[in-house]
Structure 1
Amino acid sequence: MNPAVGVVALVVVSLATAAIGFYGLRISRTTGDFYVASRTVRPWWNASAIGGEYLSAASFLGVAGLILLSGTDALWFPVGYTAGYLMLLLFVAAPLRRSGAYTIPDFTEARLDSRAVRRVTSVVVVVVGWLYIVPQLHGAALTIRITTGLPAWVGSVAVVVVVCLTVVAGGMRSITFVQAFQFWLKLTALAVPVLFIVFTLAGDGSAAVAPAVVNPTGLAPAGPYQNISLLVALLFGTLGLPHVLVRFYTNPDGHSARRTTLIVLGLLSVFYLFPTAYGLVGRMFAPELARSGQADAVVLLLPGQLIGGTAGDLLSALVVAGAFAAFLSTTSGLVVSLAGVISQDVLGGSVRGFRLAAVVSAVVPLGFAVMTDSLALAGSVGLVFAFTASTVCPVLLLGIWWRGLTDAGAIAGMVTGGVLCGGAMVWGTVLGASGTPFWLAQPAAWTVPAAFAVMVLVSRGTKHRIPRTMSRVMTRLHTPERPLVTER
């Protein structure tokens, strides 16, 4: 690929993102605008924005790379990512919107009438957000290194600078416009090149003569435990992602939240067809990418490798633009959600505090990203989903649907899940990919049930701590449509 192509694509996407973000500044005036866009975002806009922030580096680059490496085993990722939203629709979307909260800690404090629960939830949400931002920055670093030849850190720094500018400028309302635009850019950037590749290969007869590579890396297929554990992580992890959940606070009401989720399911189903196609085409026509350790770059390299010439450069530029849109949109959603938590719990909940918290939320993971090497993108994000499923998800599900939850149970469950899953992640990093037992590499199958079990058992042992406001809160969660938390 011509290095200038990558540079131009990066500059164009960054300028477009900044321009849309500054447009949002013109209509972002109140605290509600910055935190939840004053709860006025309509379903199609919100669904597009959710698609923009949810379809991260793992979705844009990592899914295709895993399919190139593992074949059908990797299909659990798009299935899990999409099915997790079905669980959101069924169990979380409308009640969470009715809570009237700005953040997940707002919800847990109001539900359990406990400042201690709020503090623990805040710490967990910040950890989840930072863990999720790091793979986005690794993806940006990979893209810059592969497509331009510039130092990898340039990609990470570019994402953080653009995100900080747009989030600080207009908060949630500004980011809503940015992420909606970036979703459709990502979809176009994947669909157009892969369709062009498929039609070209079919037209010149290449598909008939190229050998199909069944297993280009010789990796053993995943066993039942790994597949089940991965699916548990993706299904339950989606329910606890802070940047996704905060989006439901921006809907006008619970009905809009449900409709938004239905639209997202449709958008995700269409989107994941294309990374899957890239992975399959790569297995047939570019298996050397798997053997050379460039699996995560298959989406970036296929247009230039299979098409070539000016057309290949133009298609590559479109893919690079979509990749950066993925990094920017997911990172900006995470920064908005983290800024809301940090500013309310530490900086007084003002607009100025939100802006300062946004910078902190982006700079800290940048330091970790620069100091660490990129893992397989989808695999590293899968571990973040496992951590989220073991911490935030249990307190949300039980808080919404079980009257017996207590503050002591919520804290015990979150700490248990966090320690078990976090310990597995750290130990797996120490041992390395080749030396990590399968039950540590995919811990969700035992850490998620452990977190739920501890939360229930401790709550049953502390029934006297069920808050007196429980009945009133539960009624409001399940009966449209009065706010639970006083809006600031």
Structure 2
Amino acid sequence: MTALAVAAALIALVAVLGTTAVLGLYGRRSARTTSDFLVASRGVTPWWNASAVSGEYLSAAAYLGAAGLVLAYGADMLWLPIAGTAGYVLLLAFVTAPLRRSGAYTVSDFAEWRLGSRTVRGIVTGCVCLIGWFYLLPQFQGAGVTLHLLTGAPAWTGWAIVVAVVLPAVVSGGMRSITAVQAVQFWVKLVAVAVPAVALLALWNLDGRPDPVTDAAPRFERATRVQVHTDATVTVPAAVTVTARGRVDGAAHDGGAVPLAPGRHTIGRGTEVVFPAGAAVPHAERLPVQDGATWVTPFGRGEEHGLFRTLSALLGVLLGTMGLPHILMRFYTNTCGSAARRTAAFVPCLLALFSVFPILYGTLGRLYAPELLMTGDTDATLLLLPQRMFPGPAGALLTGLVTAGAFAAFISTSCGIVVALAGTLSQSTRRPSGVTAFRAGVLVTLAVPLAVLPTIGTQGAATLVTMALYVSACSLCPLLVLGIWWRGLTAAGAGAGLLTGGGLTAAAGVTRLFSGCSTGWPAAVLAQPTLVVAPAVFAVMVAVSLLTRRRVPRRADRALMKLHLPEDALAPGERP
């Protein structure tokens, strides 16, 4: 990264941080009550709220991770943005308006109001925390990776910057403060990803490079120097002789020629390897080696249980989007159920518009940054391409632009998650109450992922976010669907289902973080558990509720009436 690109990136970072501070201060002036902090006094308009929801949803996974996944896996990854956008259609059809009419502040409030059980409320609070903490991890990690890649600063400086911005913004104004931040930052992210993408696409069209879809497996077009920052195990597709300075296959080298046979090799931390022009690109061991035809064909690489993995991931993202607590909480800020429904209708359009561009970055990355497949740093695709394709001042300016979008993604999503978790924790405690409890919840929410980050190593942003989505799909989504649409749900049924789904998916996520399972069906289910767990959770909730049908809350009929009738059809005392 050139000095000019670093300077542009730092200027962009300062601009994003300054904008966030100004917008947060603007919201802080009118934040006084608990309602202001939790739901912005339910006064946000549909279009403004749709921009904020979209800004909150477009996290590190959507901004950095999507391009990296397309670079590494190709067409199989296109289902993920489609499923995320489609999740809002289901949210619009089944959840938004009824949930807003309930008058609850948080998902935990809704569970207690609907089922009359403090125990279920506590279980829901636990699920909300798991989802939020899984979702916060990639925001902090993405900030660390971005800052390290651009400036060489240690990863913890990125974490510190996100905390330093999010903490005062949330503590000072809560939901009222961050609504403006998230709404404006959605458009910042869209411009930051779209303008460089159009420029890069135009350059590729003029450059005469081969089509990445029909070309063979990625190759280095010119002699390329690759710096390996962590111990790596790679698969070499074809025999090649490189020059290396460092450790290769356990042996030390000082710039001499090193022949690499096809197969598995290890490269030590800090090793510098120079590949000749035309050499096939080695791939990190966990990434498949694919030619262009395989890369562009769904299930083309013959992955073990590929159909199951894809369908399970699709279902997990689809259902998980319906249950994300920080997204659901945004709909409480609308004035009424019909306004919440209009908000949910706008969101898929905004997300679909954004999702086109990371695909372009991932595709161009096969030609212009193939070494990322070797180092495994595929999340860096979007950050490296502008400078790689435009080496001069133009590339530096584009690098600054994508950096601004990246930190807008980390900050806006982190703000939303922190508000949702802090609000849930504060509403679940007896003392202290109100704003004081909310601010204490903010500190707890930020402390947990910061404590976990140093122990999990480098993980892909999309991997971490999908863990959160799978917990959501197998816990809060079934609770909301059955709680809103089925009178017979009981507290016992809801609690049993939440413990089953939340426990199994959280255990699968933790296992993947710290150990993993290498082959066979156990590995497939561990990586993508939703197709197995989500139907089981619905079945458990229904079965246990039928066994305890005498415990259906007496106010269930009145609750469903409030959920489904328009506000103007209810008596004044029943309106949210």
Bin for the TM-score computed over the shorter chain: over 0.9
Pairing 1:120–2:191 present: no
Q: How many Å separate the matches in 1 of 2:213 and 2:97?
A: 50
* Counterparts of residues 83-482 of structure 1 (less than 5 Å): 83-206=86-209, 212-213=215-216, 217-218=288-289, 220-222=301-303, 223-346=306-429, 347-432=431-516, 434=518, 437-481=523-567
Cα distance in 1 for residues equivalent to 2:317 and 2:118: 29
The structural deviation recorded for 1:207 is 5.3
Q: Tell me which amino acid in the other structure corresponds to 1:252.
A: T
State the Cα distance separating 1:425 from its structure 2 match. Answer: 2.2
Indicate if the aligned counterparts of 1:100 and 1:484 stay in contact, CA closer than 8 A: no
Letter in 1 for 2:477: C
Query: In 2 relative to 1, CA 471–311 (structure 1 residues): closer, same or farther, beyond 3 Å?
Result: same
What amino acid does structure 1 have at the position aligned with 2:442? Answer: A
Q: Structure 1 CA distance, aligned partners of 2:425 and 2:444? A: 9
Secondary structure of the 2:32 match is coil
Distance between the aligned counterparts of 2:34 and 2:151, measured in 1? 40
Question: What is the alpha-carbon distance in structure 1 between the residues aligned to residue 64 and residue 574 of structure 2?
Answer: 39
Matched-pair contact (CA < 8 Å) for 2:175–2:419? yes
- Whether 1:12 and 2:7 are equivalent positions in the alignment is no
Q: 1:210 to 1:114 in 2, by over 3 A?
A: closer
Deviation string 1:334-390 (CA, Å, 9 cap, x unpaired) is 000011111111244411221221122122212212332231111221121111111
SS at match of 1:272: helix
User: 2:212·2:367 contact (CA, 8 Å) conserved in 1?
Assistant: no
Q: State the shift of 1:261 in Å.
A: 0.8
**Count of residue correspondences:** 487
SS of the equivalent of 1:437 reads helix
Kindly provide the amino acid, as one letter, of the partner of residue 435 in structure 2.
Answer: V
2:323 aligns to what SS in structure 1? coil
Any idea what the Cα deviations from partners look like across 1:307-327, whole Å, max 9, x if unmatched? 111110110011011000000
One-letter identity of the residue aligned with 2:475: T
- Shift of residue 285, structure 1, vs aligned partner: 3.0
For 1:101, the aligned partner's letter is A
Describe the shift of the 1:306–1:221 C-alpha distance in structure 2 as closer, same or farther (beyond 3 A): farther
Greater Rg by CA: 2
Equivalent in 53, 56, 68 of residue 56 of structure 2 = 53
Q: Secondary structure at the match of 2:474?
A: helix
The verdict on how the C-alpha distance between 1:213 and 1:245 changes in structure 2, with shifts beyond 3 A counting, is farther
Change (3 A) 1:430 1:172: closer
Q: Deviations over 1:433-460 (max 9, x none)?
A: 6456112111111111111111111000
8 Å contact from structure 2 (residues 84, 321) kept in 1:
yes
- Mark the runs of 5 or more structure 2 residues left unpaired by the alignment: 219-280, 282-287, 291-300
Give the drift of 1:117.
Answer: 1.0
SS of residue in 2 equivalent to 1:467? coil
Higher mean Cα deviation, 209-218 or 335-344? 209-218
Q: Over aligned residue pairs, what C-alpha RMSD do you find?
A: 1.9
- Once the two structures are superposed, residues 25-64 of structure 1 have per-residue CA deviations (whole angstroms, 9 ceiling, x without a partner) of 1111222111101101001100000011101000000011
> In the alignment, residue 88 of structure 1 is paired with which amino acid?
L
- Check 1:84–1:155 CA distance in 2 against 1; reply closer, same or farther (3 A cut): same
**Cα distance per residue 1:135-156 (max 9 Å; x no partner):** 1111111111111100011101
Q: When you count helix as a share of all residues, which structure comes out higher?
A: 1
Q: Distance in 2 between matches of 1:221 and 1:209?
A: 20
Deviation at 1:208, TM superposition (A): 6.8
Q: CA deviation at 1:430?
A: 4.3
Which of the numbers 24, 33, 38 marks the counterpart of 2:36? 33
Percent pairwise identity: 49
Unaligned runs of 5+ in 1: none
Contact 2:212 2:366 in 1 (8 A): no
Are the counterparts in 1 of residues 315 and 531 from structure 2 also a CA contact under 8 Å?
yes
**Residues 392-432 of structure 1, C-alpha deviations (whole Å, 9 max, x = no match):** 11111100011110000000000001222122223333443
Q: Aligned equivalents of 1:466 and 1:209: distance in 2?
A: 58
Distance 1:353 1:209, change over 3 A: closer
8 A contact 1:106–1:485 mirrored in 2: no
Q: When you count strand as a share of all residues, which structure comes out higher?
A: 2
